[in-house]
């Protein structure tokens, strides 16, 4: 998810040429080394001055949301639209993550999704855990800014791209200002600035590394991305990475109500008060179909494909998938019709609405029957698989 600390421009377009990036390496290793030395020395003192930790938590939370709600879901994936005050705040907060500008970050991230696990993937996990975690930044390949023409039209994005390091420095040093006012500058610098920078970096890095190595793949196994609920609290919901790689345009990563995803709650809340709109979400039927396909694949791998149980499992899954597909078509068709409502007479609209409700009743009945058949076949397959 991270972009290089150094800007890449048209003059840097040297394909596949690796170089040791002194700026990135010095910054990453320098801040980590200083934190390992200074935080333990400050720790006992900070326990008596809990404001340092409050400032750390506040900055960590706000800047992290700037990255996830701003750089990631708003700009990289266009999962929703936001008013200019929201964009301004998110761009300023995310700049303090010191993960480059929104333009460069989103360019690298879009390339990652287009070429995941292949040579052009900037943080290709097949090159190893630590390469995906942060070595790719230190050995930064020269990656031109591409595929972000839509973002370049936004004057706020262009402004942030030009001044992102200055903006980030001003935001990141807010704790230092508070510490200066309270006469505790050293503690606020160490805990609120230095430690916060290091923790922000590495929690973000874990999505590139750990979320591609540890966890489950309930939606797709075409890439290494995995759902990892343990990472979600530290990354504001980004831990549900397998879902994200399957449905990257959804404003949610934790799609289930109980999954910890404060980024989606923030976006939903912004929409509720009119500061965001156009929230994109994948239809429930499409999500269920993806899970169904993976569940069938897992069960079939443990069965002999020629057994009656395997045949029943395949047939049941096919019927349920078709029923869900029909339901999905009706839902999408209804959304399209809603857009035409204004142009239609009330009587015609009510008639179409009644027809749609009747069709949905039939679709739900088909899904219930098909799902019962699937559960029966799945239970039989599991008994045979674990016998």
Q: How do residues 254-274 score in pLDDT, each as one tens digit?
A: 999 999 999 999 999 999 999
Q: What is the pLDDT of residues 35-58, one digit of tens each?
A: 999 999 888 777 777 888 999 999
On whether the CB atoms of residues 381 and 309 are closer than 8 A, the answer is: yes
**Range from 168-182, 298-312, 355-369 that averages highest in pLDDT:** 168-182
Looking up tokens 């970050």 gives 105
Residue 308: pLDDT band with limits 50, 70, 90: confident
- Asked whether residue 339 carries a pLDDT value surpassing 70, the answer given is no
User: What's the CA gap between 206 and 209, in Å, rounded?
Assistant: 5
Residue 105: band (very low, low, confident or very high) from pLDDT cuts 50, 70, 90: very high
For residue 2, the model assigns a pLDDT of 46
H-helix segments, 220-261: 232-235, 241-246
Cα gap 264→73, rounded to integer Å = 9
pLDDT of 140 reads 63
pLDDT at residue 90 tops 80: yes
Domain residue ranges in the chain: 10-277, 284-385
The predicted-structure confidence for 150-161, as pLDDT tens digits, reads as follows 999 999 999 999
Supply the pLDDT for residue 226: 96
* Integer angstrom CA distances of residue 159 from 8, 87, 105, 124, 354: 16, 12, 15, 30, 51
Whole-number Cα distances in Å, 27 to 189, 199, 202, 292, 340: 16, 14, 13, 45, 54
Asked whether the predicted pLDDT for residue 139 surpasses 50, the reply is yes
What pLDDT digit, counting tens, does each position of 185-211 carry?
999 999 999 999 999 999 999 999 999
């Amino acid at each position: 998810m991270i972009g290089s600390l150094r800007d890449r421009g048209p003059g840097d377009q040297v394909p596949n040429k690796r170089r040791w990036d002194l700026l990135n390496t010095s910054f990453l290793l320098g801040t980590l080394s200083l934190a390992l030395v200074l935080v333990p020395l400050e720790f006992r003192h900070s326990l008596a001055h809990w404001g340092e930790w409050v400032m750390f938590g506040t900055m960590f939370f706000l800047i992290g949301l700037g990255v996830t709600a701003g750089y990631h879901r708003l700009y990289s994936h266009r999962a929703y639209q936001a008013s200019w005050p929201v964009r301004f705040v998110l761009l300023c907060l995310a700049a303090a993550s010191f993960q480059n500008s929104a333009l460069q970050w989103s360019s690298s991230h879009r390339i990652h999704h287009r070429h995941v696990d292949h040579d052009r993937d900037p943080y290709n996990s097949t090159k190893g855990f630590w390469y995906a975690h942060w070595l790719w930044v230190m050995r930064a390949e020269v990656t031109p800014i591409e595929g972000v023409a839509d973002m370049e039209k936004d004057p706020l994005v262009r402004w942030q791209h030009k001044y992102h390091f200055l903006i980030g420095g001003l935001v990141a040093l807010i704790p230092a200002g508070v510490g200066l006012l309270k006469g505790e500058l050293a503690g606020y610098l160490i805990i609120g600035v230095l430690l916060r920078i290091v923790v922000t970096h590495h929690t973000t890095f874990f999505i590139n590394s750990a979320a591609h190595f540890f966890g489950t793949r309930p939606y797709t196994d075409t890439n290494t991305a995995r759902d990892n609920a343990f990472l979600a609290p530290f990354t504001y919901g980004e831990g549900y990475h397998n879902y994200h790689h399957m449905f990257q345009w959804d404003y949610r990563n934790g799609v289930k109500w109980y999954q910890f995803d404060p980024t989606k709650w923030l976006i939903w809340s912004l929409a509720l008060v009119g500061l965001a709109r156009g929230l994109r979400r994948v239809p429930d039927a499409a999500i269920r179909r993806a899970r169904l396909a993976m569940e069938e694949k897992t069960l079939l791998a443990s069965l002999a494909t020629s057994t009656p149980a395997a045949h029943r499992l395949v047939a049941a899954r096919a019927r349920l998938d078709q029923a869900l597909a029909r339901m999905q078509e009706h839902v999408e068709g209804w959304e399209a019709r809603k857009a035409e409502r204004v142009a239609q007479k009330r009587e015609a609209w009510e008639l179409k609405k009644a027809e749609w409700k009747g069709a949905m009743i039939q679709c739900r009945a088909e899904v219930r029957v098909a799902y019962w058949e699937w559960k029966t076949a799945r239970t039989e397959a599991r008994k045979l698989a674990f016998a």
